[in-house]
């Protein structure tokens, strides 16, 4: 029986976004909007925002659900937290979290948040800005170094910046950031409050990938195609913020050497796969969220080539979805899931998810499970959690941890494990 149950705080809940009675869900999985679809059919049943657009290849959108899906139980491990944006596991199993308004906390194994960590720089927390992602240095166990991204107020506007610091924990559950240094600034600055990105991912050779946004508005977003601009790009830098010598545009006139790839909209999901390759999911327009495997020097189209439409319903630019000079997304969603947070599952606690990507859905209000066949999507599965999901991580115990958010409210950390 392919029935997905949520066992939350000891109570069995129907796994639909609209609380459809449990008996209506037997033999089916929930789809966006509270409808049910059989295993083997796409989970998404809502009409597309751009119904005339056609995928470039089979399986690029609305992949089927797998025939066998695990029953998932959920457990709240921490609640009443400030509005969180990101979470990272420390080596001892505690969680380091960032709060959008500009605070960091360490959450203990029993779900208690310690006092705010001292030394966090001031952040611009209006609109979509704030204290964003956090990543441990690859040598954190010996160096105690962390890296974090945030929206920074500047004399000529604002933008996404990346800082490094040494985290010194104290015996009260808090700590201090020492030797805080801003190592990288997305330029140019812009006086806006949208599309800051951003995720930080260390690669297998200690390179740091930094994803950002293109600032949303019509005037700046076209710079996603401009190699002189840092808007709408993925960067690849070292721990001091310098470009890597083998980056694709090093030595090229009128190009920023830190750029890895271009033509991105707003990247809030990124992770490495089992081979150490970078994968991302970016916010598209209405009906254009994209899964990509960004490669060096390649152009991913925005805003000239994209699936979906403007929020107004108008075409984006000329309405082009394919062009020889730009890369096709591995997969896209129409309607959108509104992606934030991403993890590659290589654990054993939920064997059905082995080798899958887990993506947080702000609009989908749950975890989106993307099963791969090589570099193509084979199946898509969803675990509704009735909450906006801001980040997803795999814990040291192999369980999946999802960070929820409510607009202007508190956050919860939920643990997902296999029910049996």
Q: Go through the domains of the chain in sequence order and give each one's CATH number.
A: 1-31 (no CATH), 77-418 (2.120.10.30)
Is position 195 annotated as part of the catalytic site?
A: yes
Question: Which long-range contacts (C-beta less than 8 Å, at least 24 apart) are formed by 9-13?
Answer: 9/75, 9/76, 13/386
**pLDDT value at residue 278:** 98
Among candidate residues 390, 382, 387, the one with its CA nearest the CA of residue 36: 382
Torsion angles phi and psi, residue 36, rounded to 5: -120, 140
Which residue(s) pair with 74 in the sheet?
Answer: 416
- Alpha-carbon distance of 93 to 307, in angstroms, equals 40
Buried b (16+ CB within 10 A) or exposed e, 385-403: bbbbbbbbbbbeebbbbbb
Res 187: pLDDT: 98
Predicted TM-score (pTM) above 0.95? no
Catalytic residue among 105, 195, 264, 283: 195
C-alpha dist (Å) from residue 399 to 70, 98, 342: 13, 21, 14
For residue 104, how far is the Cα from the chain centroid? Answer: 19
Q: What does the pLDDT read at residue 20?
A: 25
CA distance 298 to 201: 19
DSSP assignments along 177-238, one per residue: EEEEEEEEE-SS-BS--S-----EEE-TTS-EEEE-B--SSHHHHGGGG-TT--TTEEEEE-
Omega before residue 120 within 30° of 0, cis: no
Task: Give CA 240 to chain center in angstroms.
Answer: 24
3-state helix, strand, coil in the chain (%, to 5): 5, 40, 55
CA–CA distances in Å: residue 32 to residues 62, 328, 410? 12, 25, 24
Predicted pLDDT of residue 318: 96
Q: What's the Cα-to-Cα distance from 277 to each of 185, 235, 238, rounded to whole Å?
A: 24, 14, 17
**SS in 3 state form for 53-64?**
CCCCCCCCCCCE
Distance, CA of 305 to CA of 347 (rounded, Å):
36
Question: Contact, 265 vs 283, CB < 8 A?
Answer: yes
**Eight-class DSSP state of 141:** H
In this prediction, residue 40 carries a pLDDT of 87
- From first to last of the 420 residues of the chain, give the pLDDT tens digit: 333 334 333 333 323 222 222 222 222 333 343 346 788 899 999 999 999 999 999 999 999 999 989 999 999 999 999 999 999 999 999 999 999 999 999 999 899 999 999 999 999 999 999 999 999 999 999 999 999 999 999 999 999 999 999 999 999 999 999 999 999 999 999 999 999 999 999 999 999 999 999 999 999 999 999 999 999 999 999 999 999 999 999 999 999 999 999 999 999 999 999 999 999 999 999 999 999 999 999 999 999 999 999 999 999 999 999 999 999 999 999 999 999 999 999 999 999 999 999 999 999 999 999 999 999 999 999 999 999 999 999 999 999 999 999 877 899 999 999 997
- pLDDT for 36: 65
């Amino acid at each position: 029986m392919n029935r997905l149950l949520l066992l939350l705080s000891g109570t069995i809940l129907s796994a639909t976004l609209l609380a459809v009675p449990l008996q209506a869900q037997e033999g089916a999985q929930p789809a966006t909007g509270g409808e049910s679809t059989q295993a083997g059919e796409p989970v998404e049943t809502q009409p597309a925002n751009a119904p005339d657009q056609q995928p470039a290849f089979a399986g690029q959108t609305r992949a089927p659900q797998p025939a066998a899906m695990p029953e998932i139980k959920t457990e709240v491990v921490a609640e009443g937290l400030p509005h969180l944006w990101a979470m990272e596991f420390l080596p001892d199993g505690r969680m380091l979290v960032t709060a959008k308004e500009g605070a960091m906390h360490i959450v203990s194994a029993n779900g208690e948040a310690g006092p705010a960590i001292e030394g966090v720089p001031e952040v611009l927390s209006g609109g979509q800005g704030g204290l964003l992602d956090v990543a441990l240095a690859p040598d954190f166990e010996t160096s105690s170094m962390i890296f974090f991204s945030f929206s920074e107020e500047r004399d000529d506007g604002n933008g996404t910046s990346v800082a490094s610091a040494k985290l010194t924990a104290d015996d009260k559950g808090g700590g201090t950031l020492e030797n805080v240094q801003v190592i990288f600034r997305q330029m140019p600055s812009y006086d806006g409050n949208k599309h800051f990105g951003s995720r930080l991912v260390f690669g297998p050779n200690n390179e740091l990938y930094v994803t950002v946004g293109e600032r949303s508005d019509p005037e700046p977003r076209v710079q996603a195609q401009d190699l002189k601009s840092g808007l709408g790009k993925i960067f690849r830098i070292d721990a001091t913020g310098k470009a890597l010598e083998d980056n694709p545009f090093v030595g090229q006139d009128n190009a920023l050497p830190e750029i890895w790839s271009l033509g991105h909209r707003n990247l809030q999901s990124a992770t490495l796969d089992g081979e150490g390759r970078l994968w991302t999911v970016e916010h598209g327009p209405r009906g254009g969220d994209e899964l990509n495997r960004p490669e060096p020097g390649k152009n991913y189209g925005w805003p000239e080539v994209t699936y979906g439409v403007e929020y107004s319903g108008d075409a984006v630019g000329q309405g082009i979805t394919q062009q020889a000079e730009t890369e096709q997304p591995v997969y896209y969603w129409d309607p959108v899931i509104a992606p934030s947070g991403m993890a590659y599952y290589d654990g054993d606690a939920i064997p059905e998810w082995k080798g899958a990507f887990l993506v947080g859905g702000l609009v989908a209000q749950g975890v989106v499970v993307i099963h791969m066949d090589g570099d193509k999507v084979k199946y898509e599965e969803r675990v509704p959690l009735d909450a906006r999901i801001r980040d997803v991580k795999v814990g040291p115990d192999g369980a999946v941890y999802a960070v929820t958010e409510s607009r202007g409210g508190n956050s919860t950390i939920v643990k997902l494990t296999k029910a049996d």
